Structure 1
Amino acid sequence: MEDKYLFRAKRVDGEWVVGGLVRYGFTGKEKYYIVPDYASDLYAIEIDPNTICRCTGLKDENGKQIWENDILHNGNYFVVKWNESCSRFDIVLNKFYNIPIGKWEPMICDWKTNDFKEYRKAVDYEVIGNVFDNPKLLGIEVDEEIER
């Protein structure tokens, strides 16, 4: 399966799984599953639908796959988001340091060309976590009772 058609999500038990996304059920009662590359439809793993992430098809400066909801770092902190209306992945500035006012413009990834348009290439970034496992990187305080 080509990388940009992969999905990743947390299993119901909290472990990450990668593969094809499948939805079973009817409106309001759907359950989502990931079918790993090495398995058939008979081996579908139930997942938490709130953690579904699409693969961008890009790799960071260390060769690590970049996924939706990943936190990227290049001196500043960005989150990878899917832009439904434009059918592309965007990276959204979350925390910033030393960006001159008026000099920063959004950096976007066009998924058709798999390129960060005009500004930087994916290899200028490092994946340092994701919003589910590393919310503190974004300055989000997680309630200790929710973490347990």
Structure 2
Amino acid sequence: MSVPVETLQRELRGRRLPGGEITLERHETAIAEDALRAEPDGTDAAHPAWFIIASLRCMGVSVEELCALAHQDSGDTLLFGSCRIDQTNTLRAGATYAAQAHIGEVGSRHARDGSRLDSVEVVVELSEAGTPAGTITSTYLFKRGLA
């Protein structure tokens, strides 16, 4: 049986995650630009897709561990709901970014098929040497098995 959404909210909302650190290695940013077919602009600016990569690498927990925190069981399906990037500064190849992470809103609604769809926001704030670079808010959806 799925955990009640009230339990998820009590356990998760506002919970600090370990966070982490990421260095945007120049060779990795070059590979990403090539894969994304981005035109190099001759600067050390990294493609904005690195915000998403950094949010995944720097939550401080794996996606599997996040699923455990959300009480995912074998009948549940993890879906990626949305991602919002609030960019303050351009990410730079060669720079190292520190990340603080926490769980934001936790909610629930019903899908068209009658299953419960729980949502868990993970907020990751990136900074370089204390200067904010941006905030990434990712929403993970847990489609609970039909009881």
**TM-score w.r.t. structure 2 length?**
0.27
**TM-score w.r.t. structure 1 length?**
0.27
Greater fraction of residues in helix:
2
